[in-house]
Amino acid sequence: MKILKIVIVLLFGSILIYCTLDFPPWGDPRAPASLHVSPRYIEHTMEETSVPNIVTAVLADYRGYDTMFETIVIFTAAIACIFLLRVLRRREPERLMYRHIPTGLTLRIERGFGPPPDSKDFERIDLMWVPYDLIIKTGSRLIVPCSQIFALYVIAHGHHSPGGGFQGGVILGASIILFAISTNLRSSFTRMSEKLAVLLCGLGVFIYAGTGALCIFLGSNYLDYSALSLVLGVDTVTARSHGILMVETGVGISVMAVMVLLYYNLASAGRHDEGL
């Protein structure tokens, strides 16, 4: 049976590699992909949208529908993850662990007994994973704000350099996940609660679809940003550039919230109390 599997894999692999011989050579100007639409974009993107990065213009303007439904796919992934993993019934844990901060002692408190008196000296810690490292905490305190500023730069500067909503949103989500890893899941919930994440997740898709709908109300086609010139008070070319920024912001918000939600549900197995 194992030999049969290897034979099948090798057979199909060699057929696939044989098929790549028919491909045009890499960078061939006469390849079918670079004959029809690519020259149109390369020649006209700058004068039609005033966006130097052609990839961003194609993604968010010429192929706006595609990117909108990519965002909706990511949104659906978060919803599916919540439906599959989230445990809504709260189960009180058998015992809780606390750390006495001045001495570093760990206290285990069985169920039925009260938690330590409400003072600043105790903090609750996880049963399985108990990191307390000054270097990690200080390091993440340094990295998190810098990476968040970088993420905002990536979103806002996507017109001129590589990047855009997806990448910036992922970096923004990664900074929140880094905060959750370096402290714990509960202190991350105080900054970015599940409700807020779900709300932002929908808000991003709403901003994208709403920008498209606004174009209809202004008397143009769906996602034709040149109609926004009536609202923004600029010419149609600059309006398309601003429209791209608006939808990229929506994509960034949505992707950030989705990444955080996926991490929350995976790391705590849907219970949202203890986790990595």
* Binding interface with other proteins (CB under 8 A): 26, 53, 55-56, 129, 162-164, 166-167, 170-171, 173-174, 177, 181, 259, 262-263, 266-269, 275-276
4 class by beta-carbon count within 10 Å (0-12 exposed, 13-18 middle, 19+ buried): exposed
Looking at the Cβ atoms of 168 and 212, the one nearer to other proteins is 168
Looking at the Cβ atoms of 172 and 214, the one nearer to other proteins is 172
Q: Shortest gap between Cβ of 6 and other proteins (angstroms)? A: 13
Contact between 259 and 192 under an 8 Å Cβ cutoff? The reply is: no
Looking at the Cβ atoms of 173 and 204, the one nearer to other proteins is 173
CA angle 203, 190, 250 (to 5 degrees): 15
Alpha-carbon span 204 to 75, nearest angstrom? 9
Looking at the Cβ atoms of 9 and 216, the one nearer to other proteins is 9
256 class by beta-carbon count within 10 Å (0-12 exposed, 13-18 middle, 19+ buried): buried
Q: Which residue has the tokens 């901003």?
A: 207
Looking at the Cβ atoms of 42 and 266, the one nearer to other proteins is 266
Q: Shortest gap between Cβ of 116 and other proteins (angstroms)? A: 28
Which whole-number Å values give the CA distances from 87 to 83, 94, 135, 188, 256, in the listed order?
9, 17, 34, 19, 22
Q: How many helical (H) and strand (E) elements, i.e. helices and strands, does the chain have?
A: 10, 3
Contact between 159 and 241 under an 8 Å Cβ cutoff? The reply is: yes
Alpha-carbon span 221 to 67, nearest angstrom? 16
Q: Shortest gap between Cβ of 178 and other proteins (angstroms)? A: 9
Looking at the Cβ atoms of 247 and 267, the one nearer to other proteins is 267
Q: Shortest gap between Cβ of 152 and other proteins (angstroms)? A: 14
Q: Shortest gap between Cβ of 11 and other proteins (angstroms)? A: 19
Q: Shortest gap between Cβ of 145 and other proteins (angstroms)? A: 17
